Amino acid sequence: MWKLMVRRIIIMIPQIVVLSLLVFMLAKAMPGDALTGLIDPSIDPAAIEAMRERLGLNNPWYVQYWDWITRALQGDLGQSFFFKMPVADLIGQRMVNTFWLSLATLILTYLIAIPLGIVSGRYNDTLADRLITGYTYVGFAAPLFITALLMLYIFGFQFGWFPTGGSVSPGSTPGSAEYVIDKIYHLLLPALSMALITTVSTVQYLRCEIIDTKQKDFIITARAKGASEQRVYHRHILRNSLLPIAALFGYEITGLIGGTIFIENIFNYPGMGQLFLESITRRDYSVMTALVLLYGIAAIVGALISDIILSIVDPRIRIK
Amino acid sequence: MDEELVKIKQLKTSFRVLDDYYAAVDDVTLTIYKNEVLAIVGESGSGKSALAFSIMGLHNRAKIEGEIYYRGENIANASPGRWNKLRGREMGMIFQDSLSALNPLMIIGTQIEETLLLHNPKISARERKIRVIDLLMKVGIPRPEKTYYQYPHELSGGMRQRVIIAIAIANQPQLLIADEPTTALDVTIQAQILDLLRQLKNEMRAAIVLITHDLGIVAEMADRVAVMYAGQIVEIADVYTLIENPLHPYTKMLLKSVPSSSGAKSRLHVIQGVVPALHKLPREGCRFRGRIPWMDASVHESNPMLHEVRPGHYVRCTCYQYFHFPDKYKEESSHGTH
């Protein structure tokens, strides 16, 4: 167990180095640099050149990369040109919001997926299964942003059940119980909209896994032991079918990144996804590169979590 | 002969293909006695496993017609609750593929314990573990305390097959159905497993239904043999009669197709063709006629029945009286044996 984890974490290091190199190169490949947007065009080009020299922008790329990465490791991701504040502080605020939104989405995703997948897999080819698979096909086909807009229109504007933007009502005091409840209240609609779409693949996976496991030989062994249908399902089919679902958990995190970018913009929710789109339109390069790097790390960590979960639940993967 | 344990009367097990039911087991009448090994032989698709699954009630969506008496009780179409009482306690099953027949996520101990737990919920966990260790020892596992905590993938094929046997015999069942128990094993392990089965049978005085297509195993293990073709039993006899004096064309050809070590250089004999698919089976007349085309069609019965030619020796269809190998076949076989 520990051996596998340590080995797996060591593999992560080169992955992150390559990722940071890629992000750095891409940022450098974009036209212009930090000074192009920052400085008034009426300034003397010689002064700009002097500034470039002073900021190290004329150094070879590997020196610049080294400067950037050492500062990033110390938590200094540079300065946002638009907000005129450190990128780390800017992202820090937003990250907390996105974290809660993602967590709520994940919880809702599994709350929807597991019961639907079980019903659909266990009673396959019945009316209930047809309805559930029908929903998953619609979910696969419907783009997230259309669904989110519809949800916002119906439950936010028409019925007025949920707030239509922000992460908390203005004027609440942080730390109070109402503040927490208000936060959750603001989370629900965007999280639900996203969960309704992201859950469909998990429902399908679980359904297929259950149908597949039902026909495995060890299920016949269990029946031949005299186990009741209920017991066969709970003790043998379910656990074996949930295994791949657990393995997909980490990749679910990667999927959330794309999802939150849409959702936060549609629901005007102040998270990393919204900041990402904004910084692209504002050419706020330092924020962008920092966000891409963070998203990349999140994806790598997601894969790591998948592997760790799988090694816990599947004895065949454990290394002695 | 010992007393009757299972008596099957005109069993017909049908599966639904599109909108029609097709019988995979058709008109099977068979008695299984206590303390005997009854072998069921036939090629793939002949309905051997379908018959075994019918006796165990393991078919999910099949239509079962006819009667299966287990110690006088008709268990064909018994309730799920009744089946759960019978399976694992009165009858156990040994499967072919030992890797897929064990739950990959459960330790061996738990899997064997489950059979004990289901039928004797009152025994304590400690007692159960002791019994599992005993069982593992009985089936010849060298380090039962260690194996108890191992997962199926950590054991060899032979060891896993022993575990499967331990699961099947945990509650000392009266009927043991072994569905090709040695097909997935190599020859030396195969012999060990067969020895184990024979020894267990003698200890428990249980009946073993041995499903196989290996006639060598049949000759070695069986007391009686039923030959199945296309869902029907075409011949039943005690093992000596069947091997020395087979009657049905299918049995004869099956025996002929066994490779012999003395004629190692000769060509293998093959029964031309395959068992027709379930929905293409001829439902009338002799089902084997399609594979002996050189014979006159008039020798077959229009509605073949099992005839008792000698006490305990039954054969289906009168065509056996006229059977001869095709000329080409004869030549080659005389060539091979000399």
Domain boundaries, chain A: 2-73, 93-313
Q: Which residue is closest to B149 within chain A, CA to CA?
A: A315
Q: Residue B95: which of A217, A231, A235 has the nearest Cβ?
A: A217
The dihedral over CA atoms of A169, A173, A178, A183, expressed in degrees to the nearest 10, equals 50
CB count in 10 Å sphere of residue A216: 17
Q: Region B204-210: what's the mean pLDDT?
A: 90
Q: How many CB pairs under 8 A join A and B?
A: 75
- Asked if residue B304 lies in contact with residue B317, where contact means CB atoms within 8 angstroms, the answer is yes
Q: In what order do the strands lie in the sheet with B313-316?
A: B91-94, B175-179, B207-212, B37-41, B224-229, B232-238, B313-316, B306-310
Q: Which among B163, B180, B175 has a CA at the least distance from the CA of B217?
A: B180
- Euclidean distance between CA atoms A59 and A166, whole angstroms: 42
Sequence-distant (6+) residues with CB within 8 A of A197 are: A139, A142, A144, A147, A259
Of B146, B145, B185, B187, the C-alpha closest to B164 is: B185
- Residue B20 has phi, psi (to 5 degrees) of -115, 155
Q: Which of A221, A229, A315 sits opposite B101 (nearest CB)?
A: A221
- Which residue does chain A place closest to B171, by CA atoms? A225
Contact A105, A198 (CB under 8 A): yes
Report whether A76 contacts A88 (CB < 8 A): yes
In the block, residue with structure tokens 């039962």? B144
Query: CB distance A235–B114 less than 8 Å?
Result: yes
Dist CA A26 CA A35 (whole Å): 17
pLDDT tens digits for chain A (320 residues)?
677 788 888 888 898 889 888 888 887 777 766 666 656 667 777 777 787 777 777 778 888 888 888 888 887 877 777 788 888 888 888 888 888 889 999 999 999 999 999 999 999 889 999 999 999 999 989 888 888 888 888 888 888 788 877 777 777 777 777 788 888 888 888 889 899 988 999 999 999 999 999 888 899 999 999 888 889 998 899 888 988 888 788 778 888 888 888 888 888 888 888 888 888 887 777 888 888 888 888 888 888 888 888 888 787 776 54
A93-313: CATH, from 3.30.470.20, 1.10.260.40, 3.90.230.10, 1.10.3720.10: 1.10.3720.10
How far does B147 lie from chain A, in Å, by closest CA? Answer: 15
Asked if the interface predicted TM-score (ipTM) of this complex is over 0.95, the answer is: no
Question: What CA–CA distance (Å, rounded) separates A293 from A289?
Answer: 6
A275-289 pLDDT per residue, tens: 888 888 877 778 888
Predicted confidence at residue B262, as pLDDT, reads 65
- Cβ distance B118 to A229 less than 8 Å, yes or no, reads no
Chain B residue numbers with beta carbons less than 8 Å from the beta carbon of A237 are none
First and final C-alpha spacing in chain B: 40
**Which residue from B81, B25, B22, B35 is spatially nearest to B55, judged by alpha carbons?**
B25
Span B42-83, pLDDT tens digits = 888 888 888 999 999 888 788 888 899 998 888 888 888 898
- Mutation test of the interface with chain B: which of A124, A218, A318, choosing the one with the most B Cβ atoms within 10 A? A218
DSSP alpha helix (H) spans, chain B = 48-56, 80-86, 108-119, 125-138, 144-148, 157-169, 187-204, 215-221, 239-244, 249-256, 327-337
B88–chain A Cβ distance below 8 A for any pair = yes
Q: How far apart are CA A264 and CA A206, in angstroms?
A: 28
**A269: distance to nearest CA of chain B, Å?**
43
Local structure of B226: helix, strand or coil:
strand
Please name each of the domains of chain B with its CATH number: 4-90+173-337 (3.40.50.300), 100-172 (no CATH)
Of B43, B51, B41, B54, nearest in space to B226 by CA = B41
Facing A218 at nearest CB: one of B83, B84, B101: B101
- Rounded Cα distance between B93 and B177, Å, is 5
A302: exposed, middle or buried (C-beta count within 10 Å: 0-12, 13-18, 19+)? Answer: buried
Structure tokens at B142: 């060298």
Taking residues B124-137, report their average pLDDT: 92
CA closest to A311 among chain B residues: B105
Shortest Cα distance from A215 to chain B (angstroms)? 10
